[in-house]
């Protein structure tokens, strides 16, 4: 369970960081485009930004699945069904 929690925390942190980095790169690509920079300059930066954002979303999505597994393990160890657990909170 500790390994699962560690993986969840790590995946969530990396995913959110990648999304933020990708959005920052996208902003930089947009600035370069509207400053009439060379096409290849802003195009490749924008492409990299899309790759980084999508990678961040994928890693964060994995973190969500890990969190669901962690919650289910916690509920099962407590001896409650998921439905009973949601009614008590």
pLDDT tens per residue across span 7-41: 999 999 999 999 999 999 999 999 999 998 899 99
Do 53 and 26 contact (CB within 8 A), yes or no?
yes
Give the integer Cα–Cα distance in Å for 15 and 35.
30
Query: For residue range 41-77, what is the model confidence (pLDDT) as tens digits?
Result: 999 999 999 999 999 999 999 999 999 999 998 888 8
pLDDT higher than 80, residue 85: no
- pLDDT recorded at residue 74: 84
What is the pLDDT, as a whole number, of residue 9?
A: 94
Per domain, the residue ranges of the chain are: 2-83
* CA distances to 9, 21, 56, 67, 83 from 79, in Å: 25, 42, 35, 19, 12
Tokens found for residue 49: 């930004």
**What pLDDT sits at residue 76?**
83
């Amino acid at each position: 369970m500790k390994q699962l929690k560690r993986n969840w925390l790590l995946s969530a942190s990396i995913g959110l960081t990648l999304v933020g980095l990708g959005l920052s790169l996208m902003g930089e690509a947009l600035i370069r485009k509207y400053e009439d920079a060379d096409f290849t300059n802003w195009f490749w930066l924008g492409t990299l930004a899309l790759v980084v954002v999508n990678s961040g979303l994928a890693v964060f999505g994995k973190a969500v699945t890990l969190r669901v597994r962690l919650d289910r393990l916690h509920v099962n160890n407590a001896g409650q069904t998921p439905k009973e657990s949601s009614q008590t909170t």
